């Protein structure tokens, strides 16, 4: 579920001569809500101050709670606000399953958010059950440059190209060799990334792959039962040692289950 979004509201008072429509728009903006996440009903209100220092409150509807605060007049990704957003999510996650919203999700009015909770209640409750007792861990892998000697020994084509370049060195030959080596290094890193995914995926409840490029060849989020986190971390450590000459692996988490919150079926095409 993604809460209805809007730009950060402008709470500047209407100037003299403003129309009724202007006043209504300003009143609506003043009611805009910043949304942190969705939980089952019955959780305690987070004590941590929210974004822009606003107190957090709970909007309850259809057996669900949305943790919200008043939307700030200006919403920017300042470090203190990012940290406040995370602190609220940490308090909610400590109490049970949570569908976290990413930073800067707004709802235009309380009644609009309540209506969406009501309409999406079944879908949201299923998602909450799916992440109950789970955490998200993110694994990234970047290319490790420089293991050219091993690569040349194992690749007949590279070995022949390196030999020709050594016998008849010139600028173009060196460029061709350098480009071929770089492609080979990336190929080896991608192969290692595939092995990492093959090893880690069976340990997770679900896996979502993230974007990659020529340098970051592995990006994946794993939904894990909390009881399996230690085993997963051990597996990542073993893989990091085994392929450290080709792939530098980093592990982040545990995180709120951002990557496993989906839109309601009727909104998924929007």
Per-residue model confidence as pLDDT tens digits over 193-221: 999 999 999 999 999 999 998 889 999 99
Torsion angle defined by CA atoms of residues 165, 170, 172 and 177, in that order, rounded to the nearest 10 degrees: 30
CA 183 to chain centre: 29
Position 188 scores a pLDDT of: 81
Q: Which of 210, 221, 205, 194 is nearest to 138 (CA)?
A: 221
Report the 10 Å Cβ neighbour count for 159.
13
pLDDT tier for residue 245 given thresholds of 50, 70 and 90 = confident
Q: Are 193 and 246 in contact (CB under 8 A)?
A: no
Reported as a single tens digit per residue, the pLDDT across 128-140 is 999 999 999 999 9
Place of tokens 């194992």: 154
For the chain, list the strands marked E by DSSP: 33-40, 57-61, 64-70, 99-100, 106-107, 134-143, 206-209, 216-225, 247-255
Q: Are 89 and 98 in contact (CB under 8 A)?
A: yes
Strand partners, 251: 139
Q: Report pTM.
A: 0.72
Measured distance CA(124)–CA(114) in Å, rounded: 13
The larger pLDDT score, comparing residue 209 to residue 245, is at: 209
Reported as a single tens digit per residue, the pLDDT across 80-139 is 999 999 999 999 999 999 999 999 999 999 999 999 999 999 999 999 999 999 999 999
Give the whole-number percent of the chain exceeding pLDDT 90: 59
Position 173 scores a pLDDT of: 55
Position 179 scores a pLDDT of: 63
pLDDT tier for residue 186 given thresholds of 50, 70 and 90 = confident
């Amino acid at each position: 579920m993604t809460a209805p979004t809007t730009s950060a509201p402008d709470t500047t008072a209407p100037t003299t001569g403003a129309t009724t429509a202007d006043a209504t728009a300003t009143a609506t903006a003043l009611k805009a809500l910043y949304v942190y996440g969705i939980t089952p009903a019955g959780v305690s209100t987070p004590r941590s101050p929210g974004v822009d220092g606003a107190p957090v409150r709970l909007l309850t509807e259809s057996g669900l709670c949305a943790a919200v605060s008043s939307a700030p007049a200006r919403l920017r990704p300042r470090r203190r606000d990012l940290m406040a957003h995370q602190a609220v999510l940490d308090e909610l996650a400590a109490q049970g399953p949570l569908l976290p919203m990413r930073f800067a999700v707004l709802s235009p009015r309380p009644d609009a958010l309540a209506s969406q909770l009501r309409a999406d209640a079944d879908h949201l409750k299923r998602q909450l059950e799916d992440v109950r007792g789970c955490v998200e861990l993110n694994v990234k892998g970047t290319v490790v440059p420089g293991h050219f000697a091993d690569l040349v020994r194992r690749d007949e084509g590279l070995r022949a190209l390196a030999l020709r370049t050594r016998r008849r060195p010139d600028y173009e030959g060196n460029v061709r060799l350098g480009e071929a080596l770089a492609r080979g290094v990336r190929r080896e890193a991608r192969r290692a990334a595939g092995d990492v995914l093959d090893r880690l995926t069976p340990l997770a409840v679900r896996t979502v792959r993230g974007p990659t490029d020529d340098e970051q060849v592995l990006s994946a989020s794993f939904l894990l039962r909390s009881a399996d986190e230690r085993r997963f971390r051990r597996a990542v450590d073993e893989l990091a040692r085994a392929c450290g000459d080709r792939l530098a692996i980093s592990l982040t988490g545990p995180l709120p289950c951002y990557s496993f919150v989906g839109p309601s079926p009727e909104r998924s095409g929007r």
